[in-house]
Chain A
């Protein structure tokens, strides 16, 4: 039993090596504000043997606007860039379902994997970058926000939850009061 548990634990560690989850990004200047590079959304992460930096130009792309993704992957120990192919895919950032589309497969160009994109609808998306190194597949999800996304969702969920709780509590309280009144009436009639 113990061996099985250990095996499962080991397998889970090995499998996370190949999959990095969605990571938060931060808008910043890639070089400096004085350079001619516009601010980008930047994410720095690591997966397996690689440090990966992901940049979105412009930092806040609008629907229908041409944008570009830059991906740098360098080996953690040697610092050498990963030299291979990276496949980019875009999908809706939804828990269930959602549309997905291949953006392209890119080769290294001056140490960078560059991928253009053009998204026509505002929303929250995930860009999935996939590559294979040493026979092992690597998959990383990065955030991509297009245009102004409505922030009503969390407020609506919070409101629906609160109102539901208050309604349930109110109903239970009314039943309690009613039961109390009936019991009091029974006591009065019995005495």
Chain B
């Protein structure tokens, strides 16, 4: 029996649509934006949270303990997946991985940026295996320290792996198979270890990890970031411990220099810079959520494709959880003679859902570029304006994931007590109904959060379009119209997805 979650109510849909058109109209007539402010507030100077931040900054132990705990949970997931019950809703591997972690991770970025990467079990295990030490600077001769080939120094591998992950997740149905979930988790440990054993620094985190890159791009919208307390100290610094590391602390795993750091994309929040800086000049800052995506993040061709990939794959997640998707794939499978798990039909459907919005974006960017007549290369316009897709993807992604988190993350204590689900049976219809009724927060609160996120995401996207387009073309206003049309169409489609009843995952 397929259970569905109710979609966003009509009054929220109406409110969001009106808001979208009003904001779009405003963007066309409002004065051109000036440069966004850079103000940030060091968290360690705040009254209560400051104590916690100083505690984190002063010693490597809190982070190490957190890593050990996460690795222990990760190993439990592997054990439960390989040895436990195949009933997905009763096995810790599937529930924790797909309902709690994968859904909660995106929500966590909204508050904590790339903090997950600091305690990532894949990287922790790879580091312990290759460097053979728990923390600090180890013997580098355990890795070949090869330079990553130039053709791999971009995020195309991460985008391809992200597509592969989505294919396994939604096409093969790994989310409903504890064994396959555990094997997938193990495979990523192997890839991370192989990368660390071959290449210098954390090439896996930097270029290959689909989760790390997703976290990285979304972290551009995070309200927290590691930054210098006093920028002038960094300007005068000649030793660059944040980049090179110190006797005891490893260098920045992704080659960042704190004095020039303006974007979170490749920061893994590992805290090496905090620990190695002799001036104790690096700490966590609270900052406006939009400043990085509006102006600070540097546009690149591969970054643009990853952000657009995030946008389309996020919508694709939503599409596959609508009942009509199964019928469409089945019908299409019948036409082309596909059979079994209909993987060919699924893959073609996935490619179409990915490429159609990107093709639309490409056409609208071309229109915008031609309209202005400014001497801006098409590739540059494509890369710069793609930042608008980030808030659209992020807001819909969180709003969608809240459904999984709030409605499907039940019985976690029971799952941790019996991670393998020994002696359990599939969820009965009664239990499924109970889950629908026992939400962590009320349904109205959930709709409020989802609606608020959709409003916030569109507002931010329009801000990004205005700032980025101004920086790109430096004049007039109407040329933003094509990109605003793109934002309206994509967000309108995501809103329609939110309004549909969504199939319960487990």
Q: Do A and B bind each other?
A: yes
Residues of chain A touching chain B, judged by Cβ–Cβ distance below 8 Å, are: 13-14, 16-17, 19-29, 32-34, 39, 41, 45-49, 51, 59-60, 76, 140, 145, 148, 150-152, 154-155, 158, 161-162, 165-166, 169-170, 172-174, 176-177
Contact A20 B177 (CB under 8 A): no
| Chain A residue contacts of B186, Cβ below 8 A | 154-155, 158
Contact B173 A48 (CB under 8 A): no
CA–CA, A177 to B193, complex, Å? 22
Contact B334 A165 (CB under 8 A): no
Contact A177 B182 (CB under 8 A): no
CA–CA, A148 to B180, complex, Å? 16
Contact B336 A169 (CB under 8 A): no
Contact A27 B87 (CB under 8 A): yes
| Chain A residue contacts of B193, Cβ below 8 A | 162, 165-166
Q: Which residue of B lies closest to A163 (CB)?
A: B129
Contact B183 A154 (CB under 8 A): yes
Interface string of B61-78 (1 = CB under 8 A from A): 000000000000000001
Q: Which residue of A lies closest to B180 (CB)?
A: A24
| Chain B residue contacts of A176, Cβ below 8 A | 141
Q: Which residue of A lies closest to B326 (CB)?
A: A44
Q: Which residue of B lies closest to A168 (CB)?
A: B197
Q: Knowing A48-B337, A76-B334 touch, does A172 contact B144 (C-beta < 8 A)?
A: yes
Indicate whether B224 reaches chain A with its CB closer than 8 angstroms. no
- Choice from B340, B425, B430 contacting A45 with Cβ under 8 Å: B340
| Chain A residue contacts of B430, Cβ below 8 A | 33-34
Q: Which residue of B lies closest to A169 (CB)?
A: B197
- Choice from A26, A39, A47, A59 contacting B339 with Cβ under 8 Å: A47
| Chain A residue contacts of B330, Cβ below 8 A | 46, 51, 76
| Chain B residue contacts of A20, Cβ below 8 A | 339-341
CA–CA, A21 to B343, complex, Å? 10
CA–CA, A29 to B78, complex, Å? 26
Q: Give the interface SS of chain B, mostly helix, strand, loop or mixed.
A: helix
Q: Knowing A165-B193, A166-B130, A173-B142 touch, does A140 contact B340 (C-beta < 8 A)?
A: yes
- Choice from B129, B341, B342, B426 contacting A166 with Cβ under 8 Å: B129
Contact B340 A151 (CB under 8 A): no
Q: Which residue of A lies closest to B431 (CB)?
A: A33
Write the nearest CB–CB distance from A159 to chain B, whole angstroms: 9
Contact B182 A46 (CB under 8 A): no
Indicate whether B86 reaches chain A with its CB closer than 8 angstroms. yes
Given contacts A17-B339, A151-B82, 4 further A-B contacts (CB under 8 A): A24-B341, A33-B428, A46-B330, A140-B339
Q: Which residue of A lies closest to B132 (CB)?
A: A166
| Chain B residue contacts of A169, Cβ below 8 A | 130, 142-144, 197-198
Contact B143 A21 (CB under 8 A): no
10 pairs of A and B residues whose beta carbons are closest in the complex: A151-B82, A33-B428, A20-B340, A20-B339, A47-B339, A17-B337, A21-B340, A173-B141, A23-B341, A13-B337
Contact B429 A155 (CB under 8 A): no
Interchain Cβ contacts under 8 Å between A and B, 28 examples:
A13-B337, A14-B337, A16-B344, A21-B341, A24-B172, A24-B177, A24-B341, A26-B86, A27-B87, A29-B1, A34-B428, A47-B339, A47-B340, A48-B337, A48-B339, A51-B330, A59-B426, A76-B334, A140-B340, A150-B83, A151-B79, A154-B82, A154-B183, A162-B193, A165-B194, A169-B144, A173-B142, A177-B141
CA–CA, A128 to B180, complex, Å? 22
Considering the complex, which residues of chain B in the window 412-441 have a beta carbon less than 8 Å from any beta carbon of chain A?
Answer: 425-426, 428-431
Q: How many residues of B contact A (CB 8 A)?
A: 49
CA–CA, A162 to B188, complex, Å? 12
| Chain B residue contacts of A155, Cβ below 8 A | 78, 82, 186
| Chain B residue contacts of A150, Cβ below 8 A | 83
| Chain A residue contacts of B190, Cβ below 8 A | 158, 161-162
Q: Knowing A16-B339, A154-B183 touch, does A46 contact B333 (C-beta < 8 A)?
A: yes
Q: Knowing A13-B337, A46-B334, A162-B129 touch, does A151 contact B182 (C-beta < 8 A)?
A: yes
Contact A154 B182 (CB under 8 A): yes
CA–CA, A45 to B334, complex, Å? 11
| Chain B residue contacts of A59, Cβ below 8 A | 426
Q: Which residue of B lies closest to A10 (CB)?
A: B337
Write the nearest CB–CB distance from A105 to chain B, whole angstroms: 22
Contact A26 B141 (CB under 8 A): no
CA–CA, A20 to B382, complex, Å? 42
Contact B197 A165 (CB under 8 A): yes
Write the nearest CB–CB distance from B72 to chain A, whole angstroms: 16
Write the nearest CB–CB distance from B96 to chain A, whole angstroms: 17
Indicate whether B176 reaches chain A with its CB closer than 8 angstroms. yes
Most buried by A among B142, B189, B426: B426
Write the nearest CB–CB distance from B133 to chain A, whole angstroms: 14
CA–CA, A51 to B143, complex, Å? 52
Write the nearest CB–CB distance from A58 to chain B, whole angstroms: 10
Write the nearest CB–CB distance from B79 to chain A, whole angstroms: 8
| Chain B residue contacts of A19, Cβ below 8 A | 339-340
Considering the complex, which residues of chain B in the window 44-61 have a beta carbon less than 8 Å from any beta carbon of chain A?
Answer: none
CA–CA, A33 to B176, complex, Å? 20
CA–CA, A145 to B177, complex, Å? 13
Indicate whether B338 reaches chain A with its CB closer than 8 angstroms. yes
CA–CA, A170 to B197, complex, Å? 9
| Chain B residue contacts of A22, Cβ below 8 A | 340
Contact B338 A16 (CB under 8 A): yes
Considering the complex, which residues of chain B in the window 152-174 have a beta carbon less than 8 Å from any beta carbon of chain A?
Answer: 172-173
| Chain A residue contacts of B182, Cβ below 8 A | 151, 154
Q: Which residue of B lies closest to A40 (CB)?
A: B426
Indicate whether B251 reaches chain A with its CB closer than 8 angstroms. no
Write the nearest CB–CB distance from A19 to chain B, whole angstroms: 7
| Chain B residue contacts of A158, Cβ below 8 A | 186-187, 189-190
CA–CA, A78 to B88, complex, Å? 33
Contact A32 B339 (CB under 8 A): no
Considering the complex, which residues of chain B in the window 300-353 have a beta carbon less than 8 Å from any beta carbon of chain A?
Answer: 330, 333-334, 336-342, 344
Write the nearest CB–CB distance from A162 to chain B, whole angstroms: 5
Q: Knowing A24-B180, A28-B426 touch, does A170 contact B339 (C-beta < 8 A)?
A: no
Indicate whether B266 reaches chain A with its CB closer than 8 angstroms. no
Write the nearest CB–CB distance from B340 to chain A, whole angstroms: 3
Indicate whether B179 reaches chain A with its CB closer than 8 angstroms. yes
| Chain B residue contacts of A173, Cβ below 8 A | 141-144
Contact A24 B173 (CB under 8 A): yes
Contact B179 A151 (CB under 8 A): yes
